[in-house]
Structure 1
Amino acid sequence: MNSEERYLMMYNKVADPIGFGKPIEVSLEGLAEALYCTQRNVKFIVRKLEEDGFIEWQAGRGRGNRSRITFLYPKEKKLMELAQQYASRGEYKYAFELIDQYGEGTGVRHQFVEWMNSHFGYRTELIDDLEADLLRLPVYRPILTLDPKELYYAFSVHMVRQLFDCLVKYDREAGKIVPSLAHAWEHDEEGKEWTFHLRKGIQFHHGRDLVAEDVIYSLERLRGSAASGWFVRTIVDIQRRGPRTVTLKLDRPNWLLPRYMCSTGMSIVPHELVEQDEQFWEHPVGTGPFRFGEWTADRIIMKANSHYFLGRAHLDGVIIVIMPEDTAAFAKNWDQLLIDHDAKDYQPAQDWKKVEYVTNGCSLLTWNRGKKGPQQSADFRKAIDLLVDRNRMVAELGGDRMYPASGFYPGEESYDSVACPDVELALELLKRSRYGGERLKIGTYGIHEKDARWLQKELASYGIAVEIQLENWKSIRDEQVRQDVDCLLYCVVFAEDEVCMIELFEQTGNFMRDHLDPGLLQWVENKIDKALASRETDKRWKELMDIEYKLRDETHVLFLLHKKLQMFHTPHIKGIGMNSLGWIDFKDIWLEKTTG
């Protein structure tokens, strides 16, 4: 423990609420008791603090005379300085722990978060006497995994995309699948056999060339996994046709297989490292635009892959800082805001650029059909649907809430098909459902709490008692939680359109799949099989949209709102764009530097 921490510890024990600059009578015995140490250690601590100029000490002379200690600095000042020191070394978590330990009743936490705002953004820094362009961003959610096999959340998917690649990828602007690790692919007439040809010379970050065995291993390891195993359920055999050629054989047609291959869960990993290193996922190695640097409780550091086969990133590194979730209220939305801190005469005003679009997905409620309760009644579910005024929800809650939703995908059809609130009919349906005032338990997590509170208040006005079970990003995935609640409030984000919609019903552990009636789930799976067997896009969409319409019309799902994403940045920062996950593509960002 350094002198600053000893000072804060002793200040909390002795000087509160008297404060600094005033002599305080103490005894060595009393200090030893307060600091849980021996009198000998107290003498050492006092001497050290006095030598370092933190306190003045006047020893008591003679029997019964007490000593006097004067604290020379305000606690808030020293606490702030110490937190800044740790943050500057990248020890953000410990900085917040110190503030929580010693800063109660002060404004240090708020001040520290405001100081951290100036710490984030795009900077050019000297590393080993060389200039490095770094992007430092905070997140207010945990990074649960960097393993493509275990992906459930959009942010984890985004991070894995920086480190790994898939065989192919989807170009959303062009509306087509384009080469990635594979430069070419072909299929048989039935859509049951697909062959992929790998590029030559692609290297993993540790220097070994990509080969067919990596593809085979990466797909085989998904079998039986909770999150990504559904991708390979119809694959019955994977054959090596050469050092860079792989053929997949399916038990049924799947004309969406190339789109499956674009999904981050299908990322290709180095087979020998994953097999040999039990800690591989704590320091993963891929082929992606960034190499793994460090992962602690405080941050993740990624460094540019200088030999990336699709072109080196303009950035030299990205640092993701993991901030306490409750600090988001005091901080700028730095995951959507970029500032060039090195710009001269910086003016965050009219010349800023704005990027905004509606998220491809929606917020919704899934009803738990595996639990007894009022949600088993179609009349009850429809009544709730008719009582929720989504337009008013958007107006009153504001923020990123943009449009009312009647389906998964944003667009005029979803906005216009929202059921108009009808209190009279809703109350009649409640009566018909024999609802007896039972408490409805809504499970949700952090970022959706405001929406849940709004629903709680709104439904209470019609005599429907709502209990909110608030979880975090990790605990909401607990199987017991999902079984205990009557419904779950969350968001779905469709990074891969058709594939992500299918994922809702195919993925083990997906909230939608867990809560659907088993009979309905079987019907849905049959519709999905028909969609995959359809070579024509229009026919596939018809089958998939039939699923959405049934979920909506029979109120198996309560669609709520479509949300927006927006980002502001200075015109000096180029290459800005949001991907389908609502995150910035780090690889393409660059800083326009001018002289003069």
Structure 2
Amino acid sequence: MISEERYLMMYSKVAESVGSGKPIEVSLEGLAEALYCTERNVKFIVRKLEEEGFIHWQAGRGRGNRSKVTFLYPKEKKLLELAQHYASKGEYKHAFELIDSYGDGTGVRHQFVEWMNSHFGYRTELIDDLEADLLRLPVYRPILTLDPKDLYFAFSAHMVRQLFDCLVKYDRETEKIIPSLAHAWEHDEEGKEWTFHLRKGIAFHHGRDLEAEDVIYSLERLRGSSASGWFVRSITEIRKRGPRTVTIKLEKPNWLLLRYLCSPGMSIVPHDLVEQNEQFWQRPVGTGPFRFVEWTADRFIMEANPHYFQGRAHLDGVIIVTMPEDTAAFAKNWNQLLIDHDSKDFKPAQGWKKVESVSNGCSLLTWNRCKSGPQQSPHFRKAVDLLIDRYRMVAELGEDRMHPASGFYPGEASYKGATCQNVERAMELLKQSGYQGEIIKIATYGIHDKDARWLQRELTAHGIAVEVYLENWMSIRERKVLSDADCLLYCVVFAEDEVCMIELFEQTGNFLREHLDPELLEWVEAKIDNALACRGTDERWSELMDIEHKLRDETHVLFLLHKKYQMFYNPHIKGIGVNPLGWIDFKDIWLEKVSG
């Protein structure tokens, strides 16, 4: 493909204003300057391109007669073909780099993404003469980490779940804790000492059996971690009681410990490999349903773990392709791609299935109570709350926005309890707050840009000056961004109801914790300790809901909207389900082969 790239480079330097099929006067000296090489190399390149049928070259004869070159193919055609070639080899990043370099002023980028849409989805392909069921999906942000102790984002947590397992699992249908790596457990009467018994014969992907030392190491290494250290804050000792038995001792009662242990941040890793290999997290090894194959800037590849203790995945492999974020607007999402591409006549109107669910969380604005400004006034915060017409926000922005919110969790109580717009009262409160037109800085990141701009227009119309600072997935966590913003606009998604709510206040670096007033945070932490000491679910929820009510009633947080997940898929693809992280569980997907 070297000739194709040289053709594109030479075309962009020489023929951009003329196009293909027309002779263009050139000189070897000019070509050498344009291609950043010697005249000798230019002669070689020209001869090669002519031999391969890319150009027609007419050498100038005599003094003053310049040579002429005719480009035989439109740039757009060759650029699209070359990008498709590299994508077919899995070199997606290089394909987009070529388009970025040579595609200005063309429709190649859009055409290429449309072609990529047909490249994604569920397919049966031949690999080494054997059929393999593969799922190839696009994402528009990279996997930031696969280390359980560094998890902040739902997508990274989902990928960790594919490679690793926890001691126990939470079954959302039965609302019960079920065995995973541990087949049994017991605790004392106070909820301060918990003992876990590991299954026999569970092997890590590299072949060694799981042992007690792996559990001890995996939990101990979380101490001091910004993202996951809070899980082990009250653990005083982790003791080996036998080859496959571990006891965890706590400083205080924690009747949610089992739910903590279901979290991806508490995944069990092989102690020997992590300790010995600094590159472990670039090639991770776990016990999960899929095992690592490859991780590059272009893609992440997993293959089914044939020895998985809870049953082999039906898929043979999953390929996650990292697409440029700016292609998301005209590319398909993963939930539109679960189709059998070999079934040419199958269309949604002919019986496709639909899965729709409300995301277990909400979008919200958190006020920076650690910074001086209008947001320190409860009157100002309440005025902003009353100016936001959440029902109109849903209607005007549409897409995945479904219901107004008055709390973290979706449900009729949250929908009906949402603040109703009251402009007259809001303007009274704004006056009482002493607001003098100071600029309010809303910080957010890519996928929330539309919501932020909508809020900016609404608040500006009522005399509140707003600037939107659009960050990316990484920069939004920078200390300076967090401290400079007057408020943050983002979404929370709860994989584990009670645990994830507690995480908002316990996890270092979590947006809500970073912006809370220190005295309020102290009160919240005391309420959490009370909740953990409650053995009964109702009593525990009562303590946690006190936190939500205080945040809402005193407008430390403005709850905005609940969003939905929606997916259409071929009914011959079975095992489809959206997990609480908003992703499909890869392990259970399979294609029903239909004859005829």
TM-score > 0.5, shorter chain as reference: yes
Q: Say whether the 8 Å CA contact 2:407–2:414 is kept in structure 1.
A: yes
Residue 582 of structure 2 is aligned to residue 588 of structure 1: no
* 1:497-549 residue CA offsets vs partner (Å, 9 max, x unmatched): 00000000000000000000000000000000000000011000000000000
Where do residues 292-307 of structure 1 align in structure 2 (5 Å cutoff)? 292-307=292-307
Q: Which moved more, 1:344-353 or 1:449-458?
A: 344-353
SS of the residue corresponding to residue 513 of structure 2 reads helix
Matched residue, 1:275 = 275
Match of 1:579 in 2: 579
Q: Where does residue 362 of structure 2 map in the other structure?
A: 362
Judge conservation of contact 1:401–1:563 (CA < 8 Å) in 2: yes
Distance 2:142 2:476 in 1: 13
Shift of 1:154: 0.5
Aligned to 1:21: 21
Q: Distance in 1 between matches of 2:336 and 2:20?
A: 41
The alignment partner of 1:338 has SS state of coil
* 3-state SS, counterpart of residue 334 of structure 2: coil
How many residues align? The count is: 596
Q: How does 1:38-437 map to 2 (within 5 A)?
A: 38-437=38-437
Instruction: Give secondary structure in 1 for the equivalent of 2:512.
Output: helix
Q: Distance in 2 between matches of 1:587 and 1:360?
A: 21
Q: Provide the residue aligned with 2:527 in structure 1.
A: 527
For residue 91 of structure 1, what is the amino acid of its counterpart? E
Report the CA distance between 1:41 and its aligned residue.
1.0
Deviations 1:113-150 (A, max 9, x none): 00001000000011111110000000011210011110
Q: CA RMSD in A?
A: 0.8
CA–CA distance in structure 1, aligned partners of residues 135 and 576 of structure 2: 13
Q: Report the alpha carbon displacement of residue 63 of structure 1 after superposing the two structures with TM.
A: 1.3
Q: In the alignment, residue 263 of structure 2 is paired with which amino acid?
A: S
Distance in structure 2 (CA, Å) of the matches to 1:344 and 1:90: 25
Deviations 1:196-254 (A, max 9, x none): 10000000000000000000000000000010000000000000000000000000000
How many Å separate the matches in 2 of 1:124 and 1:142?
A: 26
Could you tell me whether the CA contact under 8 Å between 2:120 and 2:337 is conserved in 1? no
C-alpha displacement of 1:337: 3.4
Cα distance between partner residues in 1 of 2:26 and 2:158: 56
Matching of residue 566 in structure 1 with residue 563 in structure 2 = no
Corresponding residue for residue 513 of structure 1: 513
Q: Find the residue that maps to 1:94 and give its secondary structure.
A: helix
**2:590 corresponds to which letter in structure 1?**
W
Check whether the contact 1:359–1:565 (CA below 8 A) recurs between aligned residues: yes
Letter matched to residue 431 of structure 1:
K
SS of equivalent to 1:435: coil
Partner secondary structure for residue 101 of structure 1: helix
Distance 1:552 1:165 in 2: 36
Q: For residues 407-457 of structure 1, give each alpha carbon's deviation from its aligned partner in whole angstroms, at most 9, with x where no partner exists.
A: 000111111111211111101111111000000000000000000000000
Q: After TM superposition, give the deviation of residue 582 of structure 1 in Å.
A: 1.0
Within 2, Cα distance between the matches of 1:170 and 1:380? 41
Q: Secondary structure at the match of 1:30?
A: helix
Shift of 1:336: 4.7
Q: CA deviation at 1:350?
A: 3.2
Q: Is the 8 A contact 2:122 2:337 kept in 1?
A: no
Alignment deviations for residues 22-58 of structure 1 (CA, whole Å, 9 cap, x no partner) = 0000111111111121111111111110111100000
The separation in 1 between residues aligned to 2:391 and 2:346, in whole angstroms, is 39
How far apart, CA to CA, are the structure 2 residues paired with 1:250 and 1:3? 66
- The one-letter code matched in structure 1 to 2:143 is I
- 5+ residue gaps, structure 2, are none
Q: Which runs of 4+ in 1 moved over 4 A?
A: none
CA distance in 1, matches of 2:263, 2:293: 24
Any residues of structure 2 matched to 1:436-451 within 5 Å, and which?
A: 436-451=436-451
Q: TM-score, normalised by structure 2?
A: 0.99
Query: What CA deviation, in whole Å up to 9, does each residue of 1:269-327 have, x standing for no partner?
Result: 00000000001000000000000010000000000000000000000000000000110
What is the letter of the counterpart of residue 297 of structure 2? A
Give the CA deviation at 1:484: 0.8
Contact 2:348 2:568 in 1 (8 A): no
Q: Partner letter of residue 130 of structure 2?
A: L
Q: 1:346, CA displacement in angstroms? A: 3.0
- Contact between 1:191 and 1:254, CA under 8 Å: does it hold in 2? yes
Aligned to 1:557: 557
TM-score by length of 1: 0.99
Name the counterpart of 1:459: 459
The answer for the alignment partner of 1:8 in structure 2 is 8
- Between the aligned partners of 2:337 and 2:300, the Cα distance in structure 1 is 19
2:427 and 2:346 mapped to 1: Cα distance? 57
Decide which moves more: 304-313 or 417-426: 417-426
Matched-pair contact (CA < 8 Å) for 2:335–2:566: no
**Cα distance in 2, alignment partners of residues 229 and 271 from structure 1:** 18
Of 503-512 and 336-345, more deviation after overlay is shown by 336-345
Residue identity matched to 2:53 = G
* CA displacement at 1:372 relative to structure 2: 1.1
SS of 1:321's partner is strand
Aligned residue for 1:269, secondary structure, equals coil
Q: Which amino acid aligns with 1:217?
A: Y
